[in-house]
Structure 1
Amino acid sequence: MTFEDVLIRPVLSEKATALREQNKYTFIVAPSATKIQIKEAVRKLFNVKVVDCTTVNVQGKMKRLRGPAGRTASFKKAIVKLAPGETIKVFEGV
């Protein structure tokens, strides 16, 4: 698995924006990615020093539209904490 395959996309929510003040950045990652792979991918792609990585498996929500109930897709989310003074330029101004 390459570094580009590990990180799928950044999370741009209100909660993720509030976490950026604590130097934490949130990404949707591949379900099979480990914390070590996520740290390495962020370090190599954004050229920053990663201090900590927390992962969360988010279960899909039950949804229903006229017919039988269905479920939205489940995904894996990673919250990456950077060393003090480090930033990811892609997130700036968003």
Structure 2
Amino acid sequence: MSVYEVLVQPVVTEKSNAALGKNVYTFIVDRRATKVDVRNAVEKIYSVKVAKVNTQNVSGKKRHYGRITGQESDQKKAVVYLQAGQKIDALLG
């Protein structure tokens, strides 16, 4: 798996934006990716040093659209902690 296939998108929520000041970044990642894959992808793409990575499998929610019921896809989320003094400028703006 290529490093560019590992990271799907950054998570942009109030909680994840509040953590940016603490060198903590959250990404949606490929479901097959391991912590080592996520670490290597973030270090290569953003040229930073990663301190640790936590991953979490997130179940898809059930949604109702009128009388139609659907299910969102399951996802995998990774919380990446950077070493002191490191930051990802592309996600701060």
TM-score (norm 2): 0.94
* Corresponding residue of 1:66: 66
SS across alignment from 2:12: coil
Unaligned runs of 5+ in 2: none
Note the C-alpha offset of 1:68: 4.5
Unaligned runs of 5+ in 1: none
SS across alignment from 1:4: helix
Query: What number of residue pairs does the alignment pair up?
Result: 93
What are the Cα deviations for residues 52-92 of structure 1, in whole angstroms up to 9, with x where unaligned? 00011111111112335321111111000000000001112
Range with greater deviation from structure 2 (66-75 or 33-42):
66-75
SS across alignment from 1:32: coil
Question: Is the aligned partner of 1:89 residue 2:92?
Answer: no
Moved runs in structure 1, 4+ residues, more than 4 A?
A: none
RMSD, aligned α-carbons: 1.0
**What is the identity percentage for the equivalent residue pairs of Structure 1 and Structure 2?**
40
Alpha-carbon distance in 2 for matches of 1:57, 1:17: 20
